[in-house]
Amino acid sequence: MTGFAGSKSPASPRRTFLGHTSGGMLGSMAFNWLLAEQQGQLQSAHHPPRAERVVVLFQNGGPSQMDLFDPKPELSKLHGQPYPGGVRVETLSPAGSGNLLGSPFQFHPAGQSGIVLSELIPHIASIADDITLVRSMTTESVCHEAALRISHSGHAIATDRPSFGSWLTYGLGSLNQNLPAFVVLPDPGGLPINGTLNWSAGWLPAQYQGTAFNSGDPSTAPVLNLRTPGRVPEAARRRQLDFIRRLNAEHLARFPENTDLEARLKDFETAARMQSAVPTVVDVTGETEATRKLYGLDQPGTAPYGTRCLLARRLLEAGVRFVGVYLKGQPWDTHADNANATKAVAAQLDQPSAALVKDLKQRGLLDSTLVVWMGEFGRTPVSQGANGRDHSRRGFSLWMAGGGVKGGYAHGNTDEFGYESIEKVVSMHDLHATMLHCLGLDHQRLSFEHNGRQERLTDPDVTAARIVKEILA
């Protein structure tokens, strides 16, 4: 088997086996081989991993770095004055860029490390000694759709590229056969920009796409169409699944390159096991009162996001390899009234975000879990309209914690206005390479043959990618 470290060859052992096994004889032997390969039992990491799993708290819309993570005294000092040195800010507003817009918020050193953070995020400040704060991020687009594609799949234009979570589960497989390896927790109120494309498997085998769990109304099934109707006896359902499995396996023997058929074989069996596993893992009623308060479940403003962060911890604890937590639309997209809008979103997300790190740490899971808090880009240091901030791709911030990265470390810098990354610059492609490294995967070796080409998450034809060794523990 050469899939995750090289090519997906038609002459691989699995293909040969399935191709030469008659439909009537395929049975459980081929099926078990297929499941073992798909679930990672025939794969291994390229090097010893620091993390076994990852959770991405995706901040749709582009959080304002100079109001949250990147204090700029000079920007506040020159508030209201023209931006000096010529404006190169790509702007979406027809009126162009306004004058410098200073942050009205105070910044303070946090923890023993002394990382300076905004008053808007006191809970994240309380975990300052556990995080690596990257202040020198860049990306290639100021459009939400394209920037989201870059941050998830490494490509701005192509809409058929696999997401990071799909690459990871393709490379490492599952830690729990009773649950999907890749789970997403979207906002019950709606999907982010680009919708399900954010967790698509693209042209990777279909079983590597993300499975969306419902985290809203507890009366709604956590996974749609998962439960067996009450009128169907268990024995009858088992016979039905066995029959469908045989039909699908016979069909797969005739069309061995059809990844949808492969996914169907796996998904029927996984769904059957999920029927008992999922209700348990999403049931938070057994959590202690202290844990519920930690995530802010006792407050209306923080409870929705806190619930998803708590579910993320339970999924990670149960062996889910990759969890993505998403917001509705783009709440950080502060084109107007930036200060109040940023303050409102931070109030909802600050406590639950920090709670996830604290909870993982106290359970002994943080060292083996990579936590990433990130958006698709940042905001401009100049005003849009009277008091908004436009999109900026040239400099923004994110933070990471847990498996493989330093605690209490701030990496890189933007210029004196927070516009452009100028020191220890990190691209989205560098971020992807570094995340894969923490999980034991070499971004140059993790590949998949598609249309006669060895494809990678960090495509060398798009841009070079490097592992950011300075942030590694």
**What ranges do the domains of the chain cover?**
1-43+235-276, 52-222+282-471
Cα separation, 468 vs 375, in Å, equals 19
% of the chain exceeding 90 in pLDDT:
68
What are phi and psi for residue 307, nearest 5 degrees? -60, -45
- pLDDT tens, residue by residue, 164-203: 999 999 999 999 888 999 999 999 999 999 999 999 999 9
Helix, strand, coil % in the chain, rounded to nearest 5: 35, 15, 45
Please tell me the pTM assigned to this model.
Answer: 0.85
To 10 degrees, what angle do helices 303-317 and 338-362 make? 30
Q: What is the pLDDT of residues 409-459, one digit of tens each?
A: 999 999 999 999 999 999 999 999 999 999 999 999 999 999 999 999 998
The C-alpha atoms of residue 399 and residue 59 are separated, in whole angstroms, by 11
Question: What's the CA gap between 23 and 9, in Å, rounded?
Answer: 22
**Cα separation, 434 vs 406, whole angstroms:** 13
For 361-395, give one letter per residue: b (16+ CB within 10 A) or e. beeebbebbbbbbbbbbbbbbbbbeebbbbbbbbb
Could you give the CA distance from residue 290 to residue 295 in angstroms, rounded to a whole number?
9
Cβ-based neighbour number of residue 138 at 10 Å: 21
> Predicted confidence band at 26 (pLDDT cuts at 50, 70, 90)?
very low
| Secondary structure element (H or E) that encloses residue 76, with its range | helix 73-77
Weakest mean pLDDT among 34-43, 80-89, 205-214: 34-43
Per mean pLDDT, which of 16-20, 212-216, 386-390 is the most reliable?
A: 386-390
Mean pLDDT value across residues 143-172 = 96
Between CA 306 and CA 313 the distance in angstroms is: 11
- Name which residue leads in pLDDT, 274 or 151: 151
Per mean pLDDT, which range of 84-88, 224-228, 396-400, 417-421 is the poorest? 224-228
3-state secondary structure of 307: helix
Concatenate the DSSP letters of all residues of 341-403 into one string. HHHHHHHHHHHHHHHHHHHHHHTT-GGGEEEEEE-S-EEEEEEETTTEEEEESSSEEEEEEET
436 within 8 A of 442, measured Cβ to Cβ: yes
Report the greatest alpha carbon distance in the chain: 78
3-state secondary structure of 437: helix
> Is pLDDT above 90 for 132?
yes
Residues contacting residue 204 through CB under 8 Å, at least 6 positions apart: 162, 166, 167, 170, 259, 448
Number of H helices, E strands in the chain: 13, 17
Q: How many CB atoms lie within 10 A of CB 157?
A: 11
Share above pLDDT 70 across residues of the chain, in percent, rounded to a whole number: 81
CA-nearest of 205, 153, 160, 163 to 183 is: 163
* pLDDT value, residue 278: 79
What is the Cα 89 distance to its own chain's centre?
A: 28
**E-strand spans in 385-461?**
388-392, 396-402, 409-411, 413-414, 421-423, 426-427, 447-450, 453-456
Nearest residue to 327 (alpha-carbon basis) of 356, 300, 348: 348
Local confidence band at 403 (pLDDT 50, 70, 90 cut-offs): very high
Each residue of 232-243: pLDDT tens digit? 787 887 787 788
How far apart are the C-alpha atoms of 39 and 173, rounded to whole Å? 5
The alpha carbon of 17 is separated from its chain's Cα centroid by a whole number of angstroms, namely 35
Considering the segment(s) 52-222+282-471 as one domain, its CATH architecture is 3-Layer(aba) Sandwich (3.40)
* Rg of the chain over all Cα atoms, to the nearest angstrom: 23
Residue 4 pLDDT > 80: no
Strands 131-138 and 396-402: antiparallel
Query: Token pair 């769904």 is at which residue?
Result: 271
E-strand ranges in 186-282 read: 211-212
DSSP-derived pairing of the beta strands 322-325 and 53-58 = parallel
Establish how many alpha carbons lie within 13 A of residue 16's alpha carbon, considering only the half-sphere containing its beta carbon.
5
Residue 191, SS3? coil
Tell me which of 98 and 413 has the higher pLDDT.
Answer: 413
Rounded Cα gap, residues 405 and 159, in angstroms: 31
Torsions phi, psi for 372 (to 5 deg)? -130, 125
Token match 């920009």: residue?
193
**Bridge partners, 384 (sequence order):** 388
